[in-house]
Chain A
Amino acid sequence: DIVMTQTPLSLSVTPGQPASISCKSSQSLLHSNGKSYLYWYLQKPGQPPQLLIYEVSNRFSGVPDRFSGSGSGTDFTLKISRVEAEDVGVYYCMQSIQLPRTFGQGTKVEIK
């Protein structure tokens, strides 16, 4: 199984400041079709996970443009340009290049 490792595991951010979360996979997520199968989810308190970013850098419908994803191969990053109060929760990366799907441990983001 592909192991997904996120850092940091927690983050305390002042509103309006940027935040960055790293995700590393134990195997390359680049498929021969040229796509990289790395996804980012946010689980707000008391809610199911919601898709933020698909295939490394594409924002899902309705996701604010302050969220951006980047990376390639085995190293990926989620950035929030200016954190808002509604961004609190746990962020997960997930790979979908092979089954079983595997998730990172999660990064808890809170507001200072």
Chain B
Amino acid sequence: EVQLVESGGGLVQPGRSLRLSCAASGFTFADYGMHWVRQTPGKGLEWVSGISWKSGNIVYADSVKGRFTISRDNAKNSLYLQMNSLKAEDTAFYYCAKGDYYDIIRSAFDIWGQGTMVTVSS
């Protein structure tokens, strides 16, 4: 069974950091691009970042550029999101999503994890 399991969410103060992880199983992780997508009640679904199969192509949403870093470890079947300088508006449910192609340029998301909640508040 194809599965993505996120972890690392929680309550964090503004300006602090948090690292999300996503453990993949049931498919050849190294063959696919991967993404992070977040969801807030007010703003709906927002794509955050994507990384191609060998990490050669990495793209961020303008809202997180310079603060978030996406990475992957194909040997560990894992995806990561390092979030620095967190703001209240980063509060959201964060989903790890599998791309349907090795690159991220036009890939969509065919499998989503259950998500992890990040709350940025003092």
Stretch at the interface among B22-30, B73-81, B83-91, B104-112: B104-112
Contact of B115 among A48, A60, A98, A106 (CB under 8 A): A48
On whether the beta carbons of B47 and A106 are closer than 8 Å, the reply is no
On whether the beta carbons of B47 and A102 are closer than 8 Å, the reply is yes
Question: Which residues of chain A (42-80) have a CB below 8 Å from chain B?
Answer: 47-51, 54, 60
Docked pose: A35 CA to B59 CA in angstroms:
22
Say which size band chain A's interface belongs to.
Answer: 20 to 34
On whether the beta carbons of A96 and B107 are closer than 8 Å, the reply is yes
Number of interface residues of B (CB under 8 A): 24
Given A48-B112, A48-B113, A97–B45 Cβ distance below 8 Å?
Answer: no
On whether the beta carbons of B112 and A99 are closer than 8 Å, the reply is no
B residues in contact with A37, CB < 8 Å: 106, 108
Given A48-B112, A96-B106, A96-B107, A54–B100 Cβ distance below 8 Å?
Answer: yes
Given A99-B50, A99-B59, A100-B61, A49–B45 Cβ distance below 8 Å?
Answer: yes
